[in-house]
Amino acid sequence: MKKKQPRTVLEIENTVSLFKIFSDLTRLRILDLLVQREYSVLEIAETLDASQSAISHQLKMLRDLNVVKTRKDGKQIFYSLKDKHIKELYLVGFEHANKCLD
């Protein structure tokens, strides 16, 4: 039987970076919106009652971590989740935090 090789430090560091997205309330609120549909920065800011600057800062971080993607329509940029894995991670975490409290 071949023994599975341990994951590399780089792979684990990449995972740590990904899970950092879940450590900020504003980022989680943004993700909560984006699991439903795509949003513009203005729509996110208005919905969350936050400044466009604060939302843009968080979206840049999410973009840098390959969590969200963009689509340009004229001058507006729309954000959506990059893939289904992010949605699944968020929903599992949300359910665990809110329904598995026993």
Instruction: Tell me the pLDDT tens digit for each residue of 39-75.
Output: 999 999 999 999 999 999 999 999 999 999 999 999 9
The structure's pTM equals: 0.86
**What does the pLDDT read at residue 102?**
61
DSSP code string of 33-64: HHTT--EEHHHHHHHHT--HHHHHHHHHHHHH
Q: How many angstroms separate the CA atoms of 76 and 3, rounded?
A: 51
**CATH code for the part of the protein at 11-99:** 1.10.10.10
Q: What tokens appear for 99 in the block?
A: 């329904």
Task: Place 13 in a pLDDT band, splitting at 50, 70 and 90.
Answer: very high
Q: Residue 77 above 90 pLDDT?
A: yes
Task: Place 99 in a pLDDT band, splitting at 50, 70 and 90.
Answer: confident
**What does the pLDDT read at residue 32?**
96
